[in-house]
Amino acid sequence: MTVQIIEKGGKPDYAVIPYQDYKKMLEKVEMIDDVQAYDIALERAKDEESFPSELIYRMAIDGENPIKVFREYRKLTQARLAELAGVKAPYISELESGKKEGSVSVLKRIAECLELDLDDIV
């Protein structure tokens, strides 16, 4: 790479390089930015649980109830989830089948029992 240095007041002020070298340098800087962004995302992801795509397909494509999907993923029965959430097992069944919507307070307890945020199940 050829570089022309332009001085001002006896000190280097500008560096002039051929345009092709500039483009290569810019690509490398962008690649470094991408790597840093990836590293940041990876670090943040360490603090968050990830789920198999199968779960997402069951909810988004097959339309299954999120409470049921996550309950089964956590290997809990309806009776056990009901016990942990302080409700009756038939209530869990009604939520999973869509017969009831559930109060916010109950849904929050269910989400906590499933180790999720409320928005993961509503």
> Tens digit of pLDDT per residue, the chain (122 long)?
889 999 999 999 999 999 999 999 999 999 999 999 988 888 877 777 889 999 999 999 999 999 999 999 999 999 999 999 999 999 999 999 999 999 999 999 999 999 999 999 99
- CATH number for the region 53-121 comes to 1.10.260.40
Minimal CA–CA distance to 71: which of 53, 92, 87, 86?
92
Q: Where are the domains of the chain?
A: 19-48, 53-121
> Distances from the Cα of 14 to the Cαs of 10, 17, 26, 50, 93, in angstroms?
12, 10, 17, 49, 72
